[in-house]
Structure 1
Amino acid sequence: MGIQGLTKLLADAAPGSMKENKFENYFGRKIAVDASMHIYSFLVVVGRQGDQLLTSEAGDVTSFVFEGKPPELKRAELAKRSTKKEEATTELEAAKEAGNQEDVEKYSKRAVKVTRQHNEECKQLLRLMGVPVVEAPGEAEAQCAQLCKEDLVYGISTEDMDSLTFGTPRLIRHLMAPASQKLDAMEFDHAKVLEELGLSEQEFIDVCILCGCDYTPKISGIGPTRALALIKKHGSIEKALESLDPSKYTIPEPFPYQEARQLFKQPDVLRGEAIPALKWSAPDKDGVIQFLVHEKSFNEERVRKALDRIAAAKGKASQGRLESFFGPAKIVSSTSGKRKEPEAAKGKGGKAGAAKKGKLGAMGKKK
């Protein structure tokens, strides 16, 4: 779920913290990828089309971070998601019986569930390909944020906005989107978020909790704009709750905002020397062929061509879209149409945020 409505709030109240960048602006950058968020972009063993599968021409510039054990506070949210998956599965079977192809497609997407086996097979393939893998003890987005805080990567690639709540210096959305979608990357700068909102780190965390996050239920009637106003006026959730009219607002029970705040401030992550080296190694070609061709029934010629592309890309400070190895090469045109940030498109500040563009190379030394 992430943080409800945060993208639009930032577009309205902190447009300078957001900017669009062409995909190629990130060539040569070290990026940590939230694998849990992008799992279907590279999980080659679960029925995806060939031109949507994982590999990368990134050389040694990308690492993939996998989820560990979710916090206890997330149990209620995960239970809700599981229930929705079950309902979607029921609807899918009904649509199949009725021969309603439109509903079949709709509920097929909703019913998809990533299993432990999917994750393990994905890690296996990545390692065979020589891609750095980080297994987080807890939330993947928190671990990605830690990698960025420790200056091991330039930024993190995820669609989940709570990475900002975990304090990542830079969050990059749409970086793993298929080239066919023609989406520019949207980069968020954490320091500018705090500066433009006029908040401390803890106050920003409190705003995010009031917006609605994975760890606490939402207070009905309080959206992102109201949440920001309450924290700017009162400085904390404690004082904000005291100010609410009980006849208008019902505080959920339980509402473990203090525990949620602590999870965002001190998440369960690997730090310092406990973090594995984020360096690409030579792919194990025989191992990849054994896994994909002999165990997963992939076309051998196609896999060998993919491996040739990996070999050709070694040593290059460039990165191709992830599906490029298993599909035809795609050319990113510099004249391709602009796109608006989906959540922020209607916000009065959305355009301002997108208007400020620039090459990342001018921002300092590449990581």
Structure 2
Amino acid sequence: MGIGGNFWDLLKPYARLEGVDFLRNKRVAVDLSFWIVQHCAAIHARSPRALSPHLRLIFFRTIALFSKLGAFPVFVIDGEPSPLKDQARMERFLRGSCLEFAVLSKPSVTTVGDAPATKQRNHVFTKYVQECVELLQILGMPVLKAQSEAEALCAQLSIECHVDACITSDSDAFLFGAKCVIKCLRTNSKEPYECYYLSDIQAGLGVKRKQMIAIALLVGNDHCMNGVSGFGVETALRFVKLFSDEEVLERLSEVSEGIIPAFPGDVGSSMDHADEPTFNGGLSCARSSHCSHCGHPGNKKAHLQVACEYCGNNGSEICIMKSTGFKCNCHECNKDRIAKERRKQENWLIKACKKISAEQNFPDKDIINIYLTVNHWHESAIHSLPFKWDKVNVEDLVDYLTFHLHWEPSYIRKHALPMLSTTFLRAMASRPEEVLLLYDQYKFHSIKGVKTRHGHPYYLVKWKKAIYSLENNAHYLINENSNSDLDDESMDVADEPDVPTILVDEGGCFLVTEENMELVQAAFPKAAAKFCEEKQSKEKRKSLKPKSDKNESPKSSRVQLSITEFYRSTKPAPHGTQKDVQGESSSPRSKKRPANLDQEIPKSVRRRLLFD
């Protein structure tokens, strides 16, 4: 959830649209709970009978993020929630269950049996998280546990420059100080995704971190859903911008005690809270008379004789009739408008302060301390630096997914291969002197070509089997016909990555995968250079090839015939005669024009007879 109201809509104008290559070779902190909650709901809505959708989601999306986008993900899970957040979860649960009477009573601890209701309600979700953590560890991904909130540790990793971005939909990440947040990531879409930078938000909205914390306190957050009655996102933004980032939280505490702060620009100390406070400027003095004809200061009778100084400046001998909606810009009128606008703003400020002072225990110091806490590391994750991305344990992966998802081993190996190939290429790029095999069975053969997907080019890499201890063909790893009943389960929300294909030619049987061009060039520079040279030579030979005549058919070298010659060469000879068409056409007396041809025969028939 994060900040209540439509806070994301307020931030959307300041989002940057990033493409496929934005996360390549970058470290990203992923809020694991966000992935599970968001996409399990979508999969259950479309396929209620889906088996363990949380594992399926984590498997496919992790492979796509690691191999296709080229990122280095660091997964973060929640720790023990704070009592405030536990209470807010219970209120949200009761509201969703239409038990509003229980929300009004606000019980401190609601129990079901011997265990708290929130813990019992989250028992299934906790099991999902634990299963996903086991899968991620098999895939070799680093997993961290936060002290309390996962987005808080993600933000700390961003502040300390351990990661370049955070993937979460919880806007609380900005309150914890995250520098870059990716709200929604779709790896199988060609559309760019939204990336929010804290610097852009601060420059666009004109608010900083503590001011955003004040907005969360006013409109509601994960730790207090209610906020202040009558405050929406726009109203809260307008209120906090009246104060600087350093003093805004202190001013909220003063307002809650009944002290109305001076309106910006006033001279003097703050005013005490009263039902009808007085203003520093008081009511404006009575305005001098204005002409009803031109609207400027003065007398109409006098202006009919001599034009006023305002109209006279325009070169008129008499005053000009004022237009509809005319507003005088004299000093007194401008001062009066400013005073009215000021009184309007002061009245609004007083009403807002009255609403805040009516709230009990506002602002909650515990919530402010949660957002301003510096360290969010769990004691078990303190020594996790530096991060390590290990090699995938394929056999454990096959056993785990076969048990939980009932997938065929060939299906698992097929979809895990993009991750294995990416790991292999990165290892070759960093340690080229070592002889490594893909999946301990396949070696790099050559680059087959270039394929463009979603506007981004990829190399088609051929892998040849090097070890034949298990099988003598590539079908040990890839079997196109196996597990075909799972195709109905494929969905866009699962971000299922591209799978390798099988190529059979004179050289044997190969696997063909789509790989990042820069990664292949770093791992196998000679093969990449050779492919580029061959491609350039082909293009050069194609450009030097002589161009054929424009009138010549691409499938025929003969000269195109005229319409007369075409009809003479294609029309069959009349029945009963075997005369040569060329000889017949060369004889001047072979045909005789009928005398009454123009009068009796239609034009279309005459044209046909001419070519007969």
Same fold? TM cut 0.5: yes
**1:196-235 residue pairs with structure 2 within 5 A?**
196-216=204-224, 217-234=226-243, 235=248
Instruction: List gaps (5 residues or longer) in structure 2.
Output: 41-49, 100-120, 261-349, 430-455, 459-491, 501-513, 515-612
Mapped contact 1:143–1:270 kept (Cα < 8 A): yes
Q: 1:224 to 1:239 in 2, by over 3 A?
A: farther
Aligned pair partner of 1:25 in 22, 26, 37: 22
Q: Tell me how far 1:249 sits from its aligned partner.
A: 6.2
Cα 1:113–1:255 change in 2 (3 A) is: farther
Aligned residues: 301
Q: CA RMSD in A?
A: 3.6
Q: Does the aligned pair in 2 maintain the 1:56–1:324 contact within 8 Å? A: no
For 1:282 and 1:289, how far apart are their aligned partners in 2? Answer: 14
Task: Tell me how far apart the structure 2 counterparts of residues 54 and 31 of structure 1 sit (CA, whole Å).
Answer: 14
Residues 325 and 301 (structure 1), Cα distance of their counterparts in 2 relative to 1, 3 Å cut: farther
2:8 is aligned with what amino acid? T
Contact 2:39 2:57 in 1 (8 A): no
- Whether 1:238 aligns to 2:253 is yes
Q: State the secondary structure of the residue aligned to 1:62.
A: strand
2:7 counterpart residue number: 6
The code of the aligned residue for 1:169 comes to K
Task: List aligned pairs for 1:10-89, cutoff 5 A.
Answer: 10-11=11-12, 15=13, 17-39=14-36, 46-47=52-53, 53-57=60-64, 58=66, 61-83=72-94
Letter in 2 for 1:294: F
1:170 aligned partner? 180
Quote the residue 2:156 is aligned against.
146
CA contact (8 A) 1:74 1:214 kept: yes
Q: Which one scores higher on RCO, CA 8 angstroms, separation ≥ 6?
A: 1
The structure number with the bigger radius of gyration is: 2
Following superposition, the deviation at residue 194 of structure 1 comes to 2.5
CA–CA distance in structure 2, aligned partners of residues 307 and 213 of structure 1: 39
Please say if residues 229 and 355 of structure 2, whose CA atoms lie closer than 8 Å, have aligned partners that are also in contact.
Answer: no
Contact 2:17 2:194 in 1 (8 A): yes
Question: What is the alpha-carbon distance in structure 2 between the residues aligned to residue 3 and residue 159 of structure 1?
Answer: 11
Amino acid at match of 2:20: F
Whole-angstrom CA distance in 2 between matches of 1:152 and 1:247: 44
| Residues 221-300 of structure 1 aligned to structure 2 (within 5 Å) | 221-234=230-243, 235-236=248-249, 237-241=252-256, 242=258, 243=260, 244-245=350-351, 251-266=358-373, 269-270=376-377, 274-300=383-409
Residues 49 and 71 of structure 1, relative CA distance in 2, 3 Å threshold: closer
How far apart, CA to CA, are the structure 2 residues paired with 1:322 and 1:282? Answer: 26
Q: CA deviation at 1:130?
A: 0.4
SS at structure 2 position matched to 1:233: coil
Q: Does 1:301 align with 2:410?
A: yes
Rate the CA distance shift 1:289–1:328 in 2: closer, same or farther, 3 A. closer
> CA 1:287–1:49 in structure 2 vs 1: closer, same or farther (change >3 Å)?
closer
Q: Deviations over 1:113-136 (max 9, x none)?
A: 852111111000000010111111
Pick one of 172, 185, 189 that aligns with 2:193. Answer: 185
Percent identity, aligned pairs only, is: 23
Quick one: distance in 2 between partners of 1:50 and 1:68? Answer: 24
Please give the TM-score of this superposition, normalised by the length of structure 1. 0.70
Please report how far the alpha carbon of residue 275 of structure 1 lies from its aligned counterpart in structure 2 after TM superposition.
Answer: 4.1
Give unmatched runs, 5+ long, in structure 1. Answer: 89-110, 332-367
> Which residue in the other structure is 2:293 paired with?
none
Cα distance change on mapping 1:253 and 1:205 into 2, 3 Å: same
Q: Distance in 1 between matches of 2:25 and 2:493?
A: 15
Q: Which amino acid aligns with 1:9?
A: L
For residues 312-348 of structure 1, give each alpha carbon's deviation from its aligned partner in whole angstroms, at most 9, with x where no partner exists: 1214599x9994556769x9xxxxxxxxxxxxxxxxx
